[in-house]
Amino acid sequence: MLRVIAVCLSLLVAACVAPPRPTLSVAEIQQYRLVDVRVEGAGVIRSWPAMETAYLRTANTDPDLQAKLQTEPASSFPQLTAFFERTLAAQARAGLDAQIGPVLTGARPVRAVVRLKTFDIPSGARRVLIDSTARISADIDLVDARTGATLVRYEGPLRARQMIGGLATAIAVQVETDPGTDMLATYLADYRAWLFQN
Taking residues 9-28, report their average pLDDT.
Answer: 63
Global pTM value: 0.80
- What is the per-residue pLDDT across 61-83, written as a single tens digit (0 to 9) for each? 777 887 787 778 888 889 899 99
Average the pLDDT over 97-119 and give the result: 95
C-alpha span between 12 and 70 (Å, rounded): 29
